[in-house]
């Protein structure tokens, strides 16, 4: 198992290329199961979660080829059972339920694993499937769904913390081959949902309204193969935006869609940093006198929960008192205790973090608990005095392509060593 050693105090300058979106690539790869014809997906990031998804597709019978960010999938004949030993490491594996149900009218998938950031049930996924006419049950740790026929319907996917992104993806993929018209109310509006819908439309689906709270899907009899390029990863971009703000210098993000980062760019600007956007790039400049913030995580286009931990790292050394309220995953604060080991002054009041800026952080051994928490600890280590030892970096490898190498190219000093 690897660990990362971050030597603090090195400013960042230069440009960095943003990889393809993990949260787009995973459901898009799953959607290739909806057709017997080959599909080619480009700009697929080199991540452990992607490796797991390709293993699942192969187990289900698809022929998978991968080279230099391009994945070709041909699922002429497929199985409908994905067992625990291949889905346990990644929650997004649940998104094969929709395409398997849509194409084969049945699926059995083990309840998945992933990050420990609080309860993330799949009840809304099942609600959508059942509205289409499927029957679902959970037995021996497996989710089983099956239907004689799927028929279009109207279903509301709003949950207690807002719309469900993977649930929206799953219901869309099940509905594209259903009879009649399906209307999803309170749909997730994230760019990753739009990216999936664009791919499915290239395959011959008829989907309108993706990116809004109301998506209309007219079922078709079959889908064909297609080629598609995955959108840039807005969370990776946001992470490097925060890193550039903390440690700039001047950092430019290349191959990025700044329209997908509006709330993050606004937050960084409100904190006193200079951010410039242009077609395909974002530039951020450091500031010696940043300002405290009040932030609340919200469904897109609000401030993303996946950027909450990184902002905690930024605000930990910002003069004054900042407040972050986490409304999507209220328990998503496991990074706080680790930041406090580095000298941060953060207290929790329910789902709210109260951050009193300190003059400096000091390097310490810390433990990554989830994907975004691990990124926050690396960012904090960039500013800390001495060396920060980040353990369990397999979390960060789930969602960041070569983050240590990219930061080193900007001037950081990071080592990856065997634990």
The DSSP symbol for 254 reads E
240, 224: one domain: no
- Residue 239 and residue 348 share a domain: yes
What Å distances lie between residue 242 and 133, 277, 380, 405, 406, CA to CA? Answer: 45, 15, 11, 17, 14
Q: Are residues 183 and 67 in the same domain?
A: yes
Residue after which a domain boundary falls, among 191, 214, 229: 229
Least confident range from 10-19, 288-297, 344-353: namely 288-297
* Domain identity same for 84 and 51: yes
Give the mean pLDDT of the chain. 94
**307-323 confidence digits (pLDDT tens):** 999 999 999 999 999 99
CA-closest candidate to residue 365, choices 376, 382, 381, 379: 381
Looking at residue 118, its pLDDT comes to: 40
289 pLDDT tier (thresholds 50, 70, 90): confident
Tell whether 10 and 71 lie within a shared domain.
no
Tokens standing for residue 408: 């080193």
pLDDT at 110 > cutoff 50: yes
The region of weakest confidence among 84-93, 132-141, 257-266 is 84-93
What per-residue confidence (pLDDT) applies to 112? Answer: 65
Residues 222 and 112 in one domain: yes
Q: What is the mean pLDDT of residues 357-361?
A: 96
Please state, in angstroms and as integers, the Cα–Cα distance from residue 384 to each residue in 37, 250, 354, following that order: 52, 19, 20
- For residues 106-123, give the mean pLDDT: 66
Collapsed DSSP state (helix, strand, coil) of residue 347? strand
pTM of whole model > 0.85? yes
pLDDT in tens, 240-262: 999 999 998 899 999 999 999 99
Helix (H, G, I), strand (E, B) or coil at 400: coil
Domain boundary among 161, 196, 229: 229
Does residue 385 sit in the same domain as residue 320?
yes
CA 4, chain centre distance (Å): 22
Q: What is the pLDDT of residue 419?
A: 75
**What is the pLDDT, as a whole number, of residue 2?**
87
Same domain, 213 and 247: no
| Confidence category of residue 114, pLDDT binned at 50, 70, 90 | very low
What percentage of the chain carries pLDDT values higher than 90?
A: 86
What residues are annotated to the active site? 115
Which candidate, 125, 122, 123, 128, places its Cα nearest to that of 184?
A: 128
Domain tally for the chain?
2
User: CATH no. for residue 32?
Assistant: 3.65.10.10
Query: Is pLDDT above 60 for 116?
Result: no
Do residues 203 and 124 both lie within one domain? yes
For 6, the domain range is: 2-19+232-418
Q: Do 90 and 13 share a structural domain?
A: no
**Do 174 and 250 belong together in one domain?**
no
Q: State the pLDDT at residue 142.
A: 87
202 and 253 in a single domain? The answer is no
Residue 44 has pLDDT above 60, yes or no: yes
pLDDT 10s digits, 141-153: 888 999 999 999 9
Q: In the predicted model, what is the mean pLDDT of residues 180-204?
A: 98
Quickly state the pLDDT bin for 11 (edges 50, 70, 90): very high
């Amino acid at each position: 198992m690897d660990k990362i050693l971050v030597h603090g105090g090195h400013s960042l300058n230069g440009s960095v290329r943003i990889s393809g979106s993990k949260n787009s690539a995973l459901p898009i790869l799953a959607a290739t199961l909806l057709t017997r014809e080959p599909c080619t997906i480009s700009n697929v990031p080199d991540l452990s979660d992607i490796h797991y998804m390709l293993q699942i597709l192969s187990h289900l019978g698809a022929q998978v080829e991968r080279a230099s960010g391009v994945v070709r999938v041909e699922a002429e004949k497929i199985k409908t059972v994905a067992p625990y030993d291949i889905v346990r490491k990644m929650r997004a594996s649940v998104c094969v339920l929709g395409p398997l149900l849509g194409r084969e009218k049945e699926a059995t998938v083990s309840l998945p694993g992933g990050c420990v950031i609080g309860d993330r049930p799949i009840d809304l996924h099942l609600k959508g499937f059942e509205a289409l006419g499927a029957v679902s049950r959970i037995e021996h740790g497996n989710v089983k769904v099956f239907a004689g026929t799927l028929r279009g319907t109207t279903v509301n996917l709003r949950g207690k913390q807002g719309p469900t992104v993977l649930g929206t993806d799953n219901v869309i993929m099940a509905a594209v081959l259903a009879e009649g018209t399906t209307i999803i109310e309170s749909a997730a509006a994230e760019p990753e949902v739009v990216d999936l819908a664009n791919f499915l439309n290239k395959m011959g689906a008829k989907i309108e309204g993706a990116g809004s709270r109301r998506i209309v899907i007219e079922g078709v009899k079959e889908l064909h193969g297609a080629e598609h390029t995955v959108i840039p990863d807005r969370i990776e971009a946001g992470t490097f935006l925060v890193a550039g703000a903390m440690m700039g210098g001047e950092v430019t993000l290349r191959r990025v869609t700044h329209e997908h980062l509006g709330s993050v760019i606004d937050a960084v600007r409100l904190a006193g940093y200079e951010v410039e956007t242009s077609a395909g790039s974002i530039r951020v400049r450091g500031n010696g006198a940043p300002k405290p913030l009040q932030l609340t995580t919200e469904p897109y286009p609000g401030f993303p929960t996946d950027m909450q931990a990184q902002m905690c790292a930024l605000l930990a050394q910002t003069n004054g008192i900042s407040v972050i309220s986490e409304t999507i995953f209220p328990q998503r604060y496991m990074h706080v205790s680790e930041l406090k080991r580095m000298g941060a002054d953060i207290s929790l009041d329910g789902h709210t973090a109260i951050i009193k800026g300190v003059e400096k952080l000091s390097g310490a051994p810390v433990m990554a608990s989830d994907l975004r928490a691990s990124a926050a600890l690396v960012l904090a280590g960039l500013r800390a005095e001495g060396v920060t030892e980040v353990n369990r970096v397999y979390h960060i490898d789930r969602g960041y392509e070569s983050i240590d190498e990219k930061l080193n190219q900007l001037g950081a000093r990071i080592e990856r060593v065997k634990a």
